[in-house]
A and B are shown apart, each in its own frame.
Chain A
Amino acid sequence: MRGGIFLAAALTFTACSQPVVPDFGAPNPDATSRLGMQTLVSGLFSGSRNDVGFYAMAMTAFARDAGNFTQVETQFITEFMGDGTPLLPADLGGFVWSNEFVMARAADSILVSLGRVNKPAPYSAGERAQITGIVQTMKALDYMYLAETRDTTGVPLAGVGQTNFGTPAPILCNKDVWRSIVALLDSANAQLNVDTLNPLPVIVPTGFASVSGTAGPSMRAGSFAAFNRALAGKANLELAYAIARSTPATAPTPTSSGLPDAAALRRADSALLASALYQPSALTAPMPGPFSDPNAVYHSFSPASGDVVNPVNANIGTYRMMNEFVAQVDTAHDARWKAKFTTNPAPAQVPQYSDKSSSFIFTFYPSAASPMPIVRAEELVLGRAQVRLGLGDFAGAWGLINQVRTLVGGLPPLAATTDFVSTRDALMREQRISTTMESSADRAIAIRMYGLAAVADTTWGGADLHTTVFPLPTIELTGRTGHLTPVCQ
């Protein structure tokens, strides 16, 4: 009897207690508090860095500037540079794809949570608008990475956050992707201009210090909207050429300018001019060592525990400047060269690594804490030169090209022409030395923009086998049987 009572008591006790074990492995910030919201916003900035190293290195490879070169990982040669056969979707498909969509989901979840914050007090309408503008701008940046790596392959944007994992959202064509990005940036800009007086209600990383004063307006130094408009300038430029390339009649060719969408170009021009980051007259020659530019927004890195190190720095010994474009560079005088490169002490490589060799090593990211630019004035000036060129303003384009060349490179100006091809080529040469291995990827984008992707690059020293876009991941293809062609709305 006593045993039965004991057993019954034990049964009752154990059966009523729930076997609850918390999720020890994951933090769970209180999204209803301002502190929790800060954690989520910081995560948005932090997570956006995760594959920017792949992005920069792969896009630099697409720009015929560099390739991975390790002693053991031979496959990187063919993955980044191609081996004469099309890349399998699985080779590169996962790079710069899933993280961007995850961060887009993160951005959406922040926006959903924004109205629920009540500790210690709810956000004001102005504060909500400021955070919304920041979050939407960062989301647009992630979408830009997707659009730039996929180009005409297109990107599906409508499925983020869905939990019914059936058929994925339609793949938007390139121009619609860019229209969506432009619209998202414009929406963010509107939000950023709701409250332009009060400081931002969230702390942003030091890489965004140049835009961390107020939300707007964009022309005010230190406003986050300046970053937004810089991105908008770039996005509208890409939209203009995406529209042009959507039909053969208007697509640029290696020998002609094509017909880029003028309205988009004008919006790009206006956006760049509206950004406080666009400072042509403030350009200066870079100094060797870590990147530093007061008119720049950049990703910050750190070797501190739990942080992210500069992803290119870790590959300094392996990512070497394989492409001998030194012939295009005045290595004796160009300050950009001196700041970014050094001579490779052991230039010869073994034949099994595709017979590639390099004379220099990229040194722009000398430490694990070296920042990586997202946008900076030098890039924006060259970007606006592209806009002016697209609008047929050769003088304007040359003026901006030479402004970078003289103020940043310390070189004499080049003689202006009214010839599209020569202007384009001069522009792209400056883009190469100014932005290689940076996350702007301007030169790779320009190659596709101007219809040069299929043109052999003689500076490579052989047949050009490069691929210029990332394929879609296999899982995106299998999930859309019969619906792989990008759809224009």
Chain B
Amino acid sequence: MVRNGLLFVVLVGAAPAARAVQLADRVPVLFAVERHSGARVDASGAPVFQRSVALDLHGATVADALDAIARETDVRFTYEPNVLPAARRVSAQARSISLAAALTEVLSGTGLDVQLTGVDHLVIVAREPTTSAIMPRRGRQARRMTGRVIDAESRLPIPAALVFVRGTTISTTTSDSGTFALAIPDTATEIVVRRLGYRLATATVAAADLTVTIALTKDVLRLDAEIVTGVATTISSRNAANAVAVVNADQIAGTPAPTLENAIQGKIPGALIEQNNGGAPGGGLQIQIRGITSIESTASPLYVVDGVIVNNQTVNSGANAVTAGGLVPGQVGSALAQSAYDNSPNRLADINPADIESIEVLKGSSASAIYGAQAASGVIIITTKKGAAGRTAWSATQRLGTYTLANELPLRTFPTLQRADAWYLAYKAPGDAGTPAAHADSAYVQSVYAGPQDYQRQLFGGGELSYETDLSARGAALRNTTSYFLSALSKYDNGLMPNTGYNKQSVRSNVSTNLASSLTVGANLFYTHALTRRGITGNDNVGIAPYDVFSSTPQFVNLARPSGAGAWSTNPFGVANPFADASQIQTPEVINRFIAGGTLDWSAYSAAHQTLHVILIGGADFATQHDQIYAPPGLQVERANPAGLPGVATSLDASTTYSNYSLSLVHHFTGVSALSATTSLGIAGENRSFNNTNNVGQNLVAGANSFTAGTVQTGFFTQTGLQDFSLYAQEQVLTLAERLSLTAGVTAERSSENGEINAFYTYPKFSASYRLPRIEHVFDDIKLRAAGGQSGTLPLYGVRYNPLVQQLIEGQSGTYPNTALGNPRIKPETNTEIEAGADVTLAGSRAQLGATVYQKRITNVLLQAAHAASFGSTSQWINGGEFTNQGLELSLSMTPIQMRNGLTWVSTSTYYRNYSVVNRLDVPSFDITGGGAFGANRIQVGRSVSQIVNEGVAPDRNGTFPQVGDVQPAFTMGFSNDFTVGPFRLATVLDWKNGGNAIDFTRFLLDVSPGLMVDSAAAVQRLIGFSKGSPVYVEPGGYVKLREVTMSVEVPSRWLRAIPRLTLSSARLSLSGRNLWSSFAYHGLDPEVSAIGNTNIARGEDIWPFPPARSYFISLDLGI
């Protein structure tokens, strides 16, 4: 039977004629199945059964015995779970007997037969039909259908494919050899096969057919991915009503990336992914989905890994105690406490990209409503790799590479003493406040002139070797009842600056097992340890950041080399020597993180047309972070400490615990009038706790790096918590020959963050999609879709309370009211979103165009309503205001070239545009940050929520300042192209951000330097313009970046076979680079920067950043 041009039937067997084999029941039958009739034919005469084998078995299980025979004879056995008798033990010794005899010895009396299905492939089957599928209802005739699922191109078997009979609950999965067996109705039946990474295939088998082979074509455009629709439900992307982006393993791990966020840049329409810490090692990127979704509260997506809600918090390192970057004049502790200027990474960095099978990005509220009041910013669902039936498949990857300086600022150089002297006389003449004023003539310059220096190259030269080693194994054990995936990672990314780098090790274990025929449990364990050293950069108020020093120090003083016995040079033109600081200041940050999750799937009831599952999913994420920063008191910058407290040592310990569970009842009904309905309802709960202790010691005893060695010690402590509980129900219907999909659901959630902790807030959702019938030569498939729903954003921790300030006075504890009032009636922000779109599949499924428009309305916006302080307080948290995001997402995936000779070109382009406007504010317009002609992020009605205004000029009559920029881009595009020619592959990702602005404080601060920029004359003009209110430092923030380039070659299999004592199934050698090329009009190091770390709006602020890096790697991937 041929259907969809994919199906053909293959017959295996050597006997020319069908003849029944009648042997005693106790002896296994060696047979093959005749092609057309399905009759069993004697295969005992096949050459393979004559191979010689030696047996030495002592009480072995049948499985072990078969393994031993397989090793001896180079045949492959496949059998289904539970088919082998667990209790049977085999003892046999023989020097040389035939394979047939050996099998008879092992399988006699077991009721098992042996089916020859390939040259060296034997399938162990039960003599009586046995299958994991559900039998047809009593009274109906049934037949035993066997078959194979293979790759249409390579003809290799496909394991772990789901095979089911349409309109019934009869299903099974293919074995390692791609075979399956099903008891199916004795009528013409449609068999459907689904496998991740392949297009869905169907085959109609006639009433007399007993065997079938189904070939699957690769789903290079991911047209048939499974999309999450609920806590425990999914739908095929061909019927999905939401624009859900899916990124698979190949796209994630193809090019080495420091952390996971790097690996998905430019690959998700609707997401803006940018780094916030320049090039400091260890990650630190932020993801915004469909625009900014909150002004004051959390606007980061929710991350779910294998059902476990994981923490993506940023715990600032406490480097502020050295930099005072977060200093607010008059604010107690602001020069020592942790600060957003610490440039710390978020914890998504801990996940190993190589462990990930796929990432789904639920962008709209209709998709994410199942996660209630934490889903307004989208949900990123990460699924890690799982085990597979069959023998253990090992893979190993070794990468070597390095990170190098990507860009430099145009600092002035001094190639001759005369130029240095001229500069000195022009800018450091006596009478100015510069250092050292006492030196009035060029003799001084001569004494310090050490020839031209290149501080940037000297300090940020990098060049240290980076490496990454990945090992993984996936397979099944215990007669294929238990599958597993194990992995281990060890990596080191060098930092550009001395004494910086990112060292990480992780292990993962994903195990799934069938405890009984109706009970499947899975456990996922992940542990990681990371040591990150990020050095001291970013905003500072003590003159320590390297570029801060370069802004006052001419590049002719030798700072790089220690003078004498380890003593570092004193910088005569600044307060710090950045080379000494980089060498001596220690910034280790140690992460230990453990994520454990589990699933329990109990098939409580099943019949031919319906099933009821009870699904329990839960887990916990526990992370600790320890930072121990040490700045020795002997450093120049510490000796210059204005408070007279040289030397800083900190000890920060933070622990974050997330735990969540969900219990779902999922009822699936199918088979009546082509109607498929899935009903789910359940409960979910979540707990979070966060504890953070930071001790700071100042005025250290020399040589002691403990905060207790400081004469002045300051302690900070933070504790927060959260408890959530929700109920949900959902109905999902697929009908009209699977063309119409309808989904409706509602989640009711209560949270400890709300003012009314017992009040349930509801988040409904609905969606519909319809696939138009195919029109030959016009299109293959058109799906129209529309969806709507609500999700939310929880209030920040503690805003429901009226806080008190605790402050000591001479050791006596005192409290007084905070200036900000809480609100006992605070409630979640509400995100109401509608989206509509279409997906068009063309050219024989070689192209798909997706288009989505959306409107997201955020109401009950959490704001701090400022009021006259004469009330005795200055503000109160309120729900007031509304803003809207509107956007367009386009994606075009295609295979322009797919030739029989192996030449393939797969291309994916994405486009994303988001436009926001503030519709209403219950408070006066206000600034998030900034001011003057630097540009301020100002929230006001009628403007973009991320606008930048110039407050360096007078406002108009309405009190409105002119808009001079926007943090958000006009649009972003991503271009992924993958070329394959035989064993060669070239993959590229180009990332284009058009529009958007960044505020280049670094350029301003260099402009006011004493003539140390190359364009010092232009710098003066900029300052003049700035002084008159011109926003010259609000610069274009767009860019085009070549994010990834990977060239690889597959080693020919004959070469692999030639390697003695090593059984390699595949080997690939790759050269790759990240951020190799970029183009932008921005004048700083990189427009992709945020000095204030993880913030919703005030991104794009550039203050003395860690310079960005590009990376080069060579990789070897081995399959064993």
Contacts and interface: CB of A to CB of B under 8 A. Distances in A.
Interface of A: 2-4, 6-7, 10-11, 14-15, 18-29, 38-47, 49-51, 53-54, 71-72, 94-95, 97-99, 101-106, 108-109, 155-157, 159-163, 165, 168-169, 203, 205-206, 300, 302-309, 311, 313-314, 316-318, 346, 348-353, 368, 473, 475-476, 478-480
Interface in B324-345: 330, 332
B1055 interface: no
A233 to B, nearest CB: 26
B138 to A, nearest CB: 22
B752 A42 contact: no
Nearest to A160: B872
Q: Please list the 3 inter-chain residue pairs (A to B) with the smallest Cβ-Cβ separation, ordered nearest first.
A: A105-B872, A43-B814, A42-B814
Given A53-B330, A306-B807, A160 B870 contact: yes
Given A24-B721, A51-B330, A350-B432, A44 B816 contact: yes
B815 A40 contact: yes
Contacts of A311: 330
Given A7-B683, A104-B872, A25 B803 contact: yes
Interface residues of B, number: 71
Nearest to A473: B869
Interface stretch (B235-243, B470-478, B709-717, B1041-1049): B709-717
A351 to B, nearest CB: 8
Interface in B856-894: 865-874, 876
A308 B583 CA distance: 33
Contacts of A351: 432
B757 interface: yes
B869 A101 contact: yes
A283 B721 CA distance: 57
B433 A306 contact: no
A103 B816 contact: yes
Contact of B722 (A21, A162, A313, A349): A21
A98 B869 contact: yes
Contact of B720 (A11, A25, A45): A25
B665 A101 contact: no
B625 to A, nearest CB: 18
B24 interface: no
Given A21-B721, A39-B813, A161-B872, A47 B807 contact: yes
Nearest to A68: B329
B819 interface: yes
Contact of A476 (B715, B811, B817, B870): B870
A346 B818 contact: no
Contacts of A473: 868-869
A46 B663 contact: no
A238 to B, nearest CB: 20
A11 B664 CA distance: 11
B795 to A, nearest CB: 12
Nearest to A15: B725
Contacts of B869: 94, 97-98, 101-102, 473, 475-476
Contacts of B752: 19-21
Given A21-B721, A23-B803, A27-B804, A159 B870 contact: yes
B930 to A, nearest CB: 13
Nearest to A349: B433
A350 B433 contact: yes
B814 A476 contact: no
B614 A3 contact: yes
A476 B906 CA distance: 62
B582 to A, nearest CB: 23
B750 interface: yes
Contacts of B60: none
A18 B757 contact: yes
A175 B663 CA distance: 69
A23 B798 contact: yes
B807 A46 contact: yes
Contact of A304 (B602, B643, B811, B814): B811
Nearest to A97: B869
B1058 interface: no
B804 A317 contact: no
Contacts of B394: none
B437 interface: yes
B817 A19 contact: no
Nearest to A164: B871
Q: Tell which of A4, A98, A104, A155 has the most Cβ of chain B within 10 Å.
A: A98
B776 interface: no
Interface of B is mostly: strand
A3 B665 contact: yes
A19 B723 contact: yes
Contacts of B798: 23-26
B443 interface: no
A205 B809 contact: yes
B984 to A, nearest CB: 54
Given A7-B614, A101-B869, A307 B665 contact: no
Given A348-B431, A350-B434, A478-B924, A165 B642 contact: no
Contacts of A160: 870-872
A173 B365 CA distance: 54
B725 to A, nearest CB: 5
Nearest to B821: A163
Contacts of B868: 156, 159, 165, 168, 473, 475-476, 479-480
18 contacts: A24-B718, A27-B813, A38-B812, A39-B814, A46-B814, A46-B816, A94-B869, A97-B869, A106-B817, A155-B870, A169-B870, A205-B809, A302-B809, A306-B714, A307-B809, A308-B809, A353-B433, A478-B924
Nearest to B695: A305
B330 A305 contact: no
B614 A316 contact: no
Interface in B157-186: none
Given A28-B804, A165-B867, A306-B715, A206 B810 contact: yes
Given A109-B817, A368-B643, A305 B871 contact: no
A20 B723 contact: yes
A72 B663 CA distance: 58
Q: Tell which of A23, A39, A311 has the most Cβ of chain B within 10 Å.
A: A23
A284 B897 CA distance: 97
Contacts of B816: 40, 43-44, 46-47, 102-103, 106
B461 interface: no
Contacts of A159: 868, 870-872
A98 B712 contact: no
B715 A348 contact: no
A117 to B, nearest CB: 15
Nearest to B757: A19
A78 to B, nearest CB: 12
B806 interface: yes
Given A54-B330, A98-B874, A46 B803 contact: no
Interface string B421-442: 0000000001111100100000
Contacts of B758: 18-19
B979 to A, nearest CB: 52
B332 A50 contact: yes
Q: Tell which of A47, A349, A352 has the most Cβ of chain B within 10 Å.
A: A47
A93 to B, nearest CB: 9
Contacts of A53: 330
B801 interface: yes
Contacts of B714: 303, 305-306
A317 B642 contact: yes
B807 A475 contact: no
Contacts of A105: 817, 872-873
Contacts of B810: 205-206, 300, 302, 307
B719 interface: yes
Contacts of A305: 713-715, 808
Contacts of B813: 27, 39, 42
Given A43-B814, A105-B873, A475 B804 contact: no
B662 to A, nearest CB: 11
B723 to A, nearest CB: 4
